[in-house]
Amino acid sequence: MEGILRLGFFTMAEKVTAALKGPFPFIVTGAVIAAIWIYFLFLIPRKTKRYDSFAEYMNDVLNFKVMLTGVVAKILYIAFTIVVLIVGVVAMFVANFFVGLIGMLILQLILRLFFELVMVLFSIQENLVVFNDRVDDHLHDND
């Protein structure tokens, strides 16, 4: 039984941890910087609402009509994806190539599913805000 466990994740985790002990903080920092750069370069959403003043924008932020966590979740997703990719590549070459590849793919899938669930919640909130604004506009038009 111990021989089977040594072929898999337990020994791989020890080898990968030993290989990444020093550079891991730099990998995480680089991944966060790259994620912010990728977000602002490719993923800035089209603004659905234009604000006339900063005070109006702050009013919406403080009343939770504008959610900032969706932006943070997207940046974290990109950063975690980069970290899992780097750790997976290190695991493929330091430990077991096949187990590292399968583990990286499974972790990428789990990561994507988790962040999709988080983003569904924010999508529901955004759609409710748009719906509420349309209902308010319709009610004010009928006055």
Evaluate if residue 76 carries a pLDDT over 90.
yes
Structure tokens at 92: 């493929």
Angular region, 64: left φ>0, alpha ψ -120 to 50, beta rest: left
Q: Give me the half-sphere count of Cα atoms (radius 13 Å) on the Cβ side of residue 20.
A: 23
Evaluate if residue 48 carries a pLDDT over 90.
no
pLDDT tens digits along 86-138 = 988 998 888 888 888 998 999 999 999 999 999 998 888 888 878 888 888 87
Per-residue pLDDT, 143: 61
Q: Which of 43, 2, 22, 5 is nearest to 90 (CA)?
A: 22
Angle between helices 9-20 and 97-142 (to 10 degrees): 80
Per-residue pLDDT, 47: 59
- The band of 65, judged by pLDDT with boundaries at 50, 70 and 90, is confident
Evaluate if residue 1 carries a pLDDT over 50.
no
Q: Quick one: CA dihedral 32, 57, 140, 136, positive or negative?
A: positive
Does the model's pTM come out above 0.75? no
Per-residue pLDDT, 45: 66
Say which residue, 71 or 120, is predicted with more confidence: 120
Close Cβ partners of 23 (under 8 Å, ≥ 6 residues apart): none
Segments making up each domain of the chain, as ranges = 2-142
Angstrom distance (rounded) from CA 19 to CA 60: 47
Q: Which DSSP symbol is given to 44?
A: P
Evaluate if residue 85 carries a pLDDT over 90.
yes
